Structure 1
Amino acid sequence: ARRQKMGAWLYDEDRWPSGAAGGLVTKDEKYRIRFLEYSLVKSIPASAGKGIQKAFAVVLNSGALLSYRPYQASDKLKVNEQILLFQERTGDPQSWFNGQTYLDALNPEAVEQFVRVTHEEYRKRFSSAFGNLVPGIFTDEPNFISHTPDNALPWTGKLPAAFRKKYGYSLEEYLPELVYLRKNRDFSKARLDYRNLLTELFCNAFAKTIGDWCARNNLLFTGHVLCEDSLFRQTYAVGNAMRFYEFMQAPGIDLLTEHWFIFNTAKQCTSVARQFGRKWRLTETYGCTGWDFPFMGHKAMGDWQLALGINLRCQHLAWYTMAAEAKRDYPASISYQSPWADEYSYVEDYFARITTALEKGEEIRDLLVIYPMESFWGRHVPGDDLPENRDFIQLTNELLGQHLDFDFGDEELMSRYAAVRNKRIIINKASYRAVLIPKIRTIRASTLELLHQFAKNGGKVFYMGKIPQYLDGEESLIPQEKYADFRHIGYSEFDFLLSPYVRHIRIQDCDGSEITPALYLLKKGSDFQTLFLCNTSCYFQTEQLEMPMVRDRQLAYPKARLLWDVPQNYHLYQLDPHTGKLHFVPQVTVTDKGISFPCPLEPLASRLFIASRKPLDAQAPLPQPVQQLKNALVLPAQAWPVSLDEANALLLDMPQAKINNGAWHEATHCLKLDSDLRAMLGVHPRGGRMVQPWCRSKSKNPKQLDLTLKYEFVCKVLPKQDCQLALECPEQYEITLNDSPISVKDTGYWCDRSIRTLHIDRRLFKT
């Protein structure tokens, strides 16, 4: 890294999720993940013993909880009653954690041990490079439920005492409400309080412990949590991702596949980052996109994240090796194994120019949207993905599509960091002119009082749906009283009611409607503004994980026009991120609300504009993109000379096998054959979940077998040139082609340095 003038970021785990240190921490059982297992049983099993937390006699009707009461083994069940048993358990050892378990991430002592085993070891070796050559450390998918059964609730030994201390009542008395909805009363304060405490324990134990350590050691704490992409999945795995970000110097997200438009995930991260003054917001991106994912896909995925404030791309990934099982990791490798590796600087230079241009100035977002997580908690039971989750996505899609940019405000963070100053709400380092309360069932008393004061000071508060029935999870009429100072709003009223207070940009089609697939980011300095926008080229939808492939996003807007509330005396320029050159912008019209100019958007287009009080050196305007086909030239379909920039490959993966000089077995796929052979030898099957080589025990006298593999293929046309055979560890084999021996002398590698090549004389092939 030093030679290449790069940063060497640290990774905190053997696999993921972070916390177990490859099983080194959880060798000690007191640090292992704990959970509360629940099930309907015929009777309390004698073997359960002291592990039982609580048993209840419950009456269920179509999954709804009609009644429940404590149950003892000596009790008799009444008509229609069943036994619901809750039992505290410790995670079972698994090969994924090298024969150990995941960490109890709700236990600060367990996380401190993780830091001693991992972070302190890095400090011993590399502390002199911390903060310069080593900018930070990446955590990967920490959570509090990983690798537990489906019928498990997150738990830790000190949770019951912490719950009673915080809320003044016993959680154990209400355990059935954590897994079933009460009939005719689907909201539960116990559920709300339980999930809130889980989040608090998790964030304080894991995020704060590591974030504080990083702050003391001049490192950026970065990475992302597990299941951050919906209210439902966060509730299951981490509680509330926004509260985790408070303790990260460079909070981050994970974007998998090309099909995810997880705008809320990005917004959760960038909202907290802006509120806490975090310059860098990371994205682990391009994972699971495949070997054939094009450069336009890399651009498109990075563009929309940039427009939402995510500015540090952590590319997934570059392989050290393709040897053995490593070749089946998630592709693609952004390294020499990919044929386009030498051209990838084109993508990196593009993003480097945009990120540099957007580095200065303050983000402008004047709308605060109350984060609806706590209402979801009070209604959620395991496996129940609520309509609130879709409402949450739809709200974000509508605001972004109308170009009314916003931040989320988490109620717990607001209770500690928010205040009213004049006609603005301040959350730490960010301020807002208007507040939007989405459809919610409960609201915190602290939030309600803050918004009431804001409205009394002349601030604008809007709310959607019905007035919440609950205050801090308990039924109350106080919201009815306070909401009298707020204004109801529906989706169709967003533009009319919100624009006077929070709008800075319009991206319009020729009919004056907002181009909803376009996203933007606006930043302001004392004498300049910078605007980045991109055309996602597809309509947003609530099924946010099922967006079309990038190549199929084709929406274009040749007559798009941009309206921008920049001062009339500013000079306008366009920076071309493909070249780094600055250009004048033609046909600019000055209006009473700023400026307006044509901004045609071809599919997947992006634009970067700079408005400056001072004139800048610039070139002639960029040529307008081609908007229509004028002439088509039909070319012949054949007789084109073609040359390959790498060897043409024939995959051999269906061998016949002869074991210990026995009979030939029929052709079998190589991976199945590998598993069969391992079973014969009493060895665990090869796979992504197997124990890692570094901690795998070695047998003193391993079983062995003799193996001969035969690959058959048809050669219709004899090759005109000599060929190569590519395989791993060729020195371990004796190889023949049509009964002629092939030298195992190494002649180089194909695709990856672990796949060596051997020379094959073309005369050995037969038709």
Structure 2
Amino acid sequence: MNLAARLKNPLNKYRPIPFWSWNERLTVDETRRQIAEMDKAGIGGYFMHARGGLQTPYLGEEWMDNIAAGIDEARKRDMGAWVYDENGWPSGFGDGRVNGLGIEYQQKYLRMDPVGADPGVRPEDEDRTITVVAGSDGQRLRFHYEVNPFYVDTLDAHVVKTFIETILDEYAARFPDDLGKALPGVFTDEPQVSRNGIPWSFTLPGKYREAYDEELLPLLPQLFSPVDLPTGEGEAPAEPCGSTPSAVTAARREPRPPVSYKRTRYRFWHLVQELFVTSFTQQMYDWCERHGAQLTGHMVLEETLLSQVTSNAAVMPHYEFFHVPGMDWLGRHIDPPTTPLQVASVAHQLGRKQILSETFALCGWNVSWEELKWLFEWQAVRGVTQLCQHLEGYSLRGIRKRDYPPSLFYQQPWWDKYRAFNDYVSRLGMLLAEGEVQFDVLVIHPQSSAWLAFDNGKNDGIHELFQPFLDVTKTLEGAHVPFHYGDERILARHGEVELRGTGFRTCDRGASFPACGLRVGNQLYFAVIVPPCETLARSTVELLQQYADAGGALVWVGGKPTLVEGEPSAELPALAQRGESVPDCTVLETCLPKQAYRLSVIDDHGAEIERIAATHRHFADYDGRGPADFYFLANADNASGYEVVVRLLGKSAERLVLETGATEPLPFTREVNEVAIRHTFAPMDSLALLVYADDRALPVAMPALVAVPAKGTEFLDLASKATPASVAVPAECTDSLDSASKATSLDGEWELQLLDPNALTLDYCDFWIDRKLIAENEHISVVQGRCLEYGRPVDLRLRFPVRAAWDFDPDGELYLVLERPDDFQIMVNGAPLTAHDAGHYRDTSFRKLSVKGLLRPGRNEILLETRFAQSPAVYEQLERAKVFEAEKNKLTFNSEIEAVYLIGDFGVVTPEPFEQLPRHALRCPGDFLLTRAPSSIPLADLVQHGLPFFNGTVRLTRTVTLAADEIHGRRFRFADMRAHVASLSVNGTSVKEWFWRPFEANLDGLLRPGENEFVLELTNGLRNLLGPHHLEEGESYAVAPPSFYKEPSVFGCAGQWNEGYCFVEFGVEGTQIA
């Protein structure tokens, strides 16, 4: 079966593999049920991920029974049941088993403090002193290490080996026949060296001496201060912990030659890089190789030069030792592009087809499918092929619903439609993974220069280094020049100069062919760019010399490096004179060989549209008819659309419809050996094209273009948030101004039917502890913290007021929803609630109890009483969580106090008007009233008309009378959608479902003279039910646990609070028949 046929229904190996958060008491039956849900939704596998809230003992028998069930279901369904290597994150501490072995195994940070002039004075913690030396001003400096007892020393190979034996060997012993099959491999998550300054390891002095034949201890001041040390003798304590006696003796007696601080910093961080790669990542990779398994996951803080220094030294060298290298992307924003480009560069160079991204964490409960698509496509156009959704919650009970939402799982009202999204991203990922990558330009990555500028303080020099590097990156992207980064360690291991001849691919772009290329594994480059940097590795200099000697195209941008591995070098000035030099990025593209350009995306004035990113893959045979080139273009702009002309090498082209996997003709013109395609990108839009070297595809007529108002949304971190007044779109997709009178507006009231119950979140209450009134009308998030302050079991009473209007129907369907109702005594208006469990609502832990007939117009109250108690282990873990995130990330409470909900047949109103906020949000002061459910509602505004907390599907009906001459050539459209899914039926016939733009449908053959019934169904998400409701900023695009708390908690400082309620809009606007 050829690729085109397989694209219709991609194999599971190309499909998303979400984080499946195991955060509750696990049962085999529930585990199997949830896997069936994933399979139904088009998900290809799952990472079985222990996470905060887990109540099943980690790695115990019950845990392993559920792992076995996960593997068994994967085997039956041809899915992948991946194990996650830790309880919580970051990976490496083995659920406390490894760091619990003692100080030799624990993470350490290097600290420097001035001490008194008297050498006999020692601090109380003398045993953690490494050395005492004289600083440049004569001040004696004490260097010591600080211990983090809750993580591990990842620079020590023995420590990592212990971690592997503790965790991975357990799985290998239990499931030896499944590794590499139904259990494909292991996810490792954010292993790190330090996120708290310069790292230390007991191995460093010896490893430094072994690597450089030099003592490290006398040079430690240079890691903090930019001083070159004069000749002199270092001083050290008699027996510094973590150093051998020989190291101390040498530090005392040997005179030090003048040493450059830049050389010391280069050597130190290069050593940290080598130790971390070989001790952690390579050991993990080797274990997987021995067991026929695959290693995937991602490093921490991959984004910038500065973020990488202490956490990893450098991230790119690690990707060599992942079978499926990965990254993560948090929140509803884009930029900088360095993160996906780094991982994709190494993957393409070393032949890794799949590139994983853990993404969508912190996007919040309201993130739309269009936004999810936009975020994934922004990464995919830079190389990512496989989606790991963060996350799917086994449960939403308690803290679990606040775990960096959303949970993209069965709890969502739109879950039954979710396969369409997963099919889409799977097709895109499959094409990017299976196609041949041919990029011509290599950019040397300047991470080693960041090492020289890091001083554990302001680190200003690194900021000055990163921006020019980012400028080079964005200039090439904006000019649509495909390129990779070259990591210096990867270049040293896999780089070589290749002369013209065997191995060169045919130049099909009409330019003179270069004399040589620089090969890095599978990739061959014809131009090398050196961005502004201060130092290069000696191996890099030698490789560039060979490349320049062979006639390679070498381009220097801005300030040239002056150092080799942190020291002046005689070879570098001569090399820096080779090739071309440009002062900045403004003329960079003119220095590149013509063959570096594979496509152009221009406006009518010939200017490249920088916000449209593009990538290319080649297929030797796409559909059984010969070669094809796949191009994918994505608009990074969330607010603006662009009319463009795409120019590509080839003779004919088709559009590839990723929603179905089919192709469709499109208008194009041919000019010599190029095709030109005119296309209008909506905000967050994309375009997939197949281009052929023959005439197999025929063009269709080019549509006329007219201007229509542009609609968009606002996101974080965009260079421009302005919304243009208009954007050009094909005339067939809009009414021309001349025929505007033919459009029939459908805005206004529509008949309303709720296909899910309405809801009211009760999150403010009065509460008593041990019969003492603590607060009135206080937010529920405060209650847990107040109870924890007692440090012992307490009796807790909660009183939730509920107000109902005179037209409220007490005999309508009505349920109280709460978590673990058996833990509470419940009274409604003074009467004990004796109702039986009526099933679950959204999450299986949200239990329904009927309160039909128990509420009345006027004031009502719901009273809950419980014994709040935590085990001593919980209190101990709360203290540990204050020190390091590993303990917080696996925190589990015994008792949790949460909001409760009313659901049923009612409306919810507030006497005060709503305030319009940015990001399509609304705020009202609260004081909600239950009313009779609305029977009709404005299509553009459901929230303000009785449905502020609603989550689910509404059915909206409108009858439209049309004359006989009005039923032909009509289209249904709306300007914008504030919902996750919309579907339309006309006169009983299903017409279309929408998840993203364009919001239109052809009505040919569906209309009739007289009355026509339009039925529109809209489905939203859980945001208006679960919040966060009370952030001062309104709708947040970086939602984390603290976003839900009024006061500081173990999860961090609370956001700025507003007692009012923030909701997001629900509805569609600008609806018409045109």
TM range, smaller chain:
0.7 to 0.9
| 1:183-234 deviations in Å (ceiling 9; x for gaps) | 9999611011111100100000000000011111121111101111111000
Unaligned runs of 5+ in 2: 1-72, 230-258, 500-515, 621-625, 705-728, 859-1074
Distance 1:757 1:622 in 2: 57
CA shift for structure 1 position 90? 2.6
- Within the candidate set 281, 304, 328, 1:254 is matched to 328
Q: Does 1:102 align with 2:151?
A: yes
Name the structure 2 match of 1:757: 848
| 1:696-721 deviations in Å (ceiling 9; x for gaps) | xxxxxxxx433322111322242361
Q: Does 1:401 align with 2:478?
A: yes
Distance 1:467 1:670 in 2: 58
Contact 1:307/1:532 (CA < 8 Å) preserved in 2? no
Contact 2:350/2:521 (CA < 8 Å) preserved in 1? yes
Distance 1:88 1:665 in 2: 45
Distance 1:237 1:337 in 2: 35
Q: Secondary structure at the match of 1:342?
A: helix
Name the structure 2 match of 1:611: 691
Name the structure 1 match of 2:539: 446
Distance 2:702 2:287 in 1: 49
Contact 1:537/1:554 (CA < 8 Å) preserved in 2? no
Relative to 1, partners in 2 of residues 1:406 and 1:508: Cα closer, same or farther, differing over 3 Å? same
Equivalent residue runs for 1:426-441 within 5 Å? 426-441=519-534
Q: Does 1:563 align with 2:647?
A: yes
CA shift for structure 1 position 636? 7.9
Relative to 1, partners in 2 of residues 1:617 and 1:666: Cα closer, same or farther, differing over 3 Å? same
Relative to 1, partners in 2 of residues 1:7 and 1:160: Cα closer, same or farther, differing over 3 Å? same
- Within the candidate set 595, 599, 604, 2:679 is matched to 599
Name the structure 2 match of 1:576: 657
Contact 2:534/2:562 (CA < 8 Å) preserved in 1? yes
Contact 1:143/1:237 (CA < 8 Å) preserved in 2? yes
CA shift for structure 1 position 578? 1.4
Name the structure 1 match of 2:491: 414
Name the structure 2 match of 1:711: 800
Equivalent residue runs for 1:404-553 within 5 Å? 404-422=481-499, 423-489=516-582, 490-526=584-620, 527-538=626-637, 553=638
Name the structure 1 match of 2:31: none
Counterpart AA for 2:787: L
Name the structure 1 match of 2:750: 640
| 1:404-444 deviations in Å (ceiling 9; x for gaps) | 11111111221222111110111122111110011111122
Relative to 1, partners in 2 of residues 1:453 and 1:501: Cα closer, same or farther, differing over 3 Å? farther
Equivalent residue runs for 1:73-222 within 5 Å? 82-92=139-149, 101-146=150-195, 150=196, 152-182=197-227, 188-222=262-296
TM-score w.r.t. length of structure 2:
0.62
Counterpart AA for 1:279: K
Counterpart AA for 2:551: G
Counterpart AA for 1:277: G
Q: Does 1:10 align with 2:83?
A: yes
Distance 2:307 2:498 in 1: 35
Relative to 1, partners in 2 of residues 1:707 and 1:449: Cα closer, same or farther, differing over 3 Å? closer
Distance 2:321 2:204 in 1: 22
Relative to 1, partners in 2 of residues 1:636 and 1:736: Cα closer, same or farther, differing over 3 Å? farther
Distance 1:357 1:709 in 2: 55
Name the structure 2 match of 1:26: 99
Name the structure 1 match of 2:434: 360
Distance 1:355 1:638 in 2: 41
Distance 1:619 1:340 in 2: 38
TM-score w.r.t. length of structure 1:
0.86
Distance 1:143 1:249 in 2: 19
Distance 1:328 1:9 in 2: 24
CA shift for structure 1 position 615? 6.9
Contact 1:528/1:610 (CA < 8 Å) preserved in 2? no
Q: Secondary structure at the match of 2:822?
A: helix
Relative to 1, partners in 2 of residues 1:519 and 1:664: Cα closer, same or farther, differing over 3 Å? closer
RMSD of equivalent CA atoms: 2.5
Distance 2:77 2:832 in 1: 44
Counterpart AA for 1:180: S
Q: Does 1:722 align with 2:799?
A: no
Contact 2:632/2:688 (CA < 8 Å) preserved in 1? yes
Name the structure 1 match of 2:839: 748
CA shift for structure 1 position 537? 4.0
Distance 1:745 1:622 in 2: 64
Name the structure 1 match of 2:451: 377
Contact 2:765/2:778 (CA < 8 Å) preserved in 1? yes
Distance 1:673 1:444 in 2: 57
Report which stretch shifted further, 578-587 or 277-286.
Answer: 578-587
CA shift for structure 1 position 618? 9.1
Contact 1:443/1:472 (CA < 8 Å) preserved in 2? yes
CA shift for structure 1 position 261? 1.8
Counterpart AA for 1:531: F
Counterpart AA for 1:596: A
Q: Secondary structure at the match of 2:143?
A: strand
Distance 2:744 2:141 in 1: 73
Relative to 1, partners in 2 of residues 1:621 and 1:213: Cα closer, same or farther, differing over 3 Å? farther
Contact 2:654/2:697 (CA < 8 Å) preserved in 1? no
What is the aligned residue count?
695
Contact 1:401/1:517 (CA < 8 Å) preserved in 2? yes
CA shift for structure 1 position 341? 1.6
Report which stretch shifted further, 437-446 or 650-659.
Answer: 650-659
Equivalent residue runs for 1:265-344 within 5 Å? 265-344=339-418
CA shift for structure 1 position 669? 2.2
CA shift for structure 1 position 634? 8.2
| 1:143-199 deviations in Å (ceiling 9; x for gaps) | 0114xxx4x421111111111121222221121111122399996110111111001
CA shift for structure 1 position 327? 2.0
Q: Secondary structure at the match of 2:199?
A: strand
Relative to 1, partners in 2 of residues 1:762 and 1:190: Cα closer, same or farther, differing over 3 Å? same
Name the structure 2 match of 1:263: 337
Relative to 1, partners in 2 of residues 1:488 and 1:128: Cα closer, same or farther, differing over 3 Å? same
- Within the candidate set 120, 130, 145, 1:53 is matched to 130
Q: Secondary structure at the match of 2:471?
A: helix
Distance 2:96 2:316 in 1: 28
Distance 2:699 2:85 in 1: 47
Counterpart AA for 1:392: F
Relative to 1, partners in 2 of residues 1:619 and 1:719: Cα closer, same or farther, differing over 3 Å? farther
CA shift for structure 1 position 617? 8.5
Distance 1:602 1:555 in 2: 7
Report which stretch shifted further, 506-515 or 734-743.
Answer: 734-743
Contact 1:589/1:597 (CA < 8 Å) preserved in 2? no
Counterpart AA for 2:680: P
Equivalent residue runs for 1:641-656 within 5 Å? 641-656=751-766
CA shift for structure 1 position 42? 4.8
Contact 1:187/1:379 (CA < 8 Å) preserved in 2? no
Counterpart AA for 1:142: P
Relative to 1, partners in 2 of residues 1:46 and 1:575: Cα closer, same or farther, differing over 3 Å? closer
Relative to 1, partners in 2 of residues 1:82 and 1:646: Cα closer, same or farther, differing over 3 Å? farther
Q: Which is strand-richer, 1 or 2?
A: 2
Distance 1:574 1:638 in 2: 37
% identical equivalent positions: 28
Contact 2:553/2:592 (CA < 8 Å) preserved in 1? no
Contact 2:654/2:689 (CA < 8 Å) preserved in 1? yes
Contact 1:380/1:386 (CA < 8 Å) preserved in 2? no
